[in-house]
Amino acid sequence: MLVVMKANAEQADVDRVCQAVSDLNLTAHPIPGKSRTAIGITGNVGPVDPSLLSALPGVIEVIRVTRPYKLTGREMQPEDTIIRVGDVRVGGPEIAVIAGPCSVESHEQTVSGARHLREHGAHMLRGGAFKPRTSPYTFQGLGEEGLKILAEAREQTGLPVVSELMDIENIELAERYVDVIQIGARNMQNYPLLRRVGRSSKPVLLKRGLAATLEEFLLAAEYIMAEGNRNVMLCERGIRTFSDYSRFTLDLSVVPELKRISHLPVIVDPSHAAGRRHLVIPLARAAIAAGADGVMVEVHAEPNRARSDGAQALTLDMFSELMEELRIIAPAVRRTASGGANPTA
Ligand code: PEP
Ligand code: MN
């Protein structure tokens, strides 16, 4: 259910509606819009009698939201969500490029790599400190040490950092060091973890599960938003199919469909989908052409020595080439890719 307020409604009117909603044992989510405020209502199992709210001062309309995802859908919020991360805006005209190694391996690797990425136009630095590895015997990440290295790289370059959180136990650590908390594909349906990051003040980059439908993906985002965190970026990273030439299949058709249904920014990760570096640049180009709000790519100065996902890592030169190409493609779809911090975008 969505309560639409009149353009001239006062804060007291909004507060009165929120109080009436909580008196019904439901949750109110005020959504300030460009011209007026709407109040999303969640928590009802059955229909709510609209007349309980439509008669309140300042209310123009009470609308039933028919889709299972409420807060993530455009029915509740028609305008695009733009997420601020430091000076970067995700979901606005400037496309966001998140780049960095699969894993944080050392101070030198991370900081010098971050400098190159910054110079060539990356907006944010990625790097895993807690790694969800298929085998328990492979490199699992540096843990807190890795997060400290990321924070140091941010200090040196000004790039906000994105890193994966795998369990609730480490949330305070993640909150202390990172700017965006990544929830990995394997945790897309870890509901207690989703709820916990939903109570965090940090934006969340939510990756689509390996076999998740669009509805499951949006409902996972809904878990985060239902707890109050509105800053969720959706990340398509490839799904399981019968492909025998790539690691996963990048589902690019989900990009315009997500953009149609949801107001949340959509980021595409071609690296994990492809699994092999020669596929990454073409897929990144296609992602921006398909309307993605940004891309996340793995980059390593020496991919052959990477401790995880070396085969899909772009070299530093390939990253520069990628940025040059995105600067050509972005304007064709009425976006910009000027690179670096974009305070005015
Ligand atoms: C990653 O981004 O390094 C990662 C592990 O991604 P995913 O969860 O998509 O496999
Ligand atoms: Mn990886």
- Segment 48-76 shows an average pLDDT of 91
Q: Of all atoms in ligand 1, which is nearest to the CA of residue 102?
A: 3
Q: What is the pLDDT of residues 241-298, one digit of tens each?
A: 999 999 999 999 999 999 999 999 999 999 999 999 999 999 999 999 999 999 999 9
CA distance 76 to 63: 9
Residue 340: which pLDDT band, with cuts at 50, 70 and 90?
A: low
Q: Give the residue, by CA position, lying nearest to ligand 1 atom 10.
A: 185
CATH code where residue 23 lies: 3.30.70.1140
Ligand 1 and 100: CB distance under 6 A: no
For residues 41 and 183, membership in a common domain is answered with no
For residues 191 and 316, membership in a common domain is answered with yes
Q: Give the residue, by CA position, lying nearest to ligand 1 atom 6.
A: 184
For residues 260 and 312, membership in a common domain is answered with yes
Beta bridge partners of 39: 3, 30
Q: What is the pLDDT of residues 8-33, one digit of tens each?
A: 999 999 999 999 999 999 999 999 88
Residue 342 has pLDDT above 50, yes or no: no
Distances (CA, A) of 276 to 156, 183, 192, 286, 311: 30, 22, 33, 16, 5
Residue 139 lies in a domain: yes
Ligand 1 and 237: CB distance under 6 A: yes
Ligand 1 and 272: CB distance under 6 A: yes
For residues 142 and 276, membership in a common domain is answered with yes
For residues 12 and 144, membership in a common domain is answered with no
Domain with 200, as residue range(s), is 83-333
Strand 124-126 relative to strand 161-164, pairing? parallel
Ligand 1 and 208: CB distance under 6 A: no
For residues 57 and 118, membership in a common domain is answered with no
- Segment 320-326 shows an average pLDDT of 97
Residue 45 pLDDT: 79
Ligand 1 pocket test: pick from 98, 102, 165 the residue with the most ligand atoms within 8 Å of its Cβ: 102
CATH code where residue 88 lies: 3.20.20.70
Residue 214: which pLDDT band, with cuts at 50, 70 and 90?
A: very high
When divided into structural domains, the chain yields a total of 2
Q: Which of 38-42, 83-87, 139-143 has the lowest mean pLDDT?
A: 38-42
Ligand 1 and 247: CB distance under 6 A: no
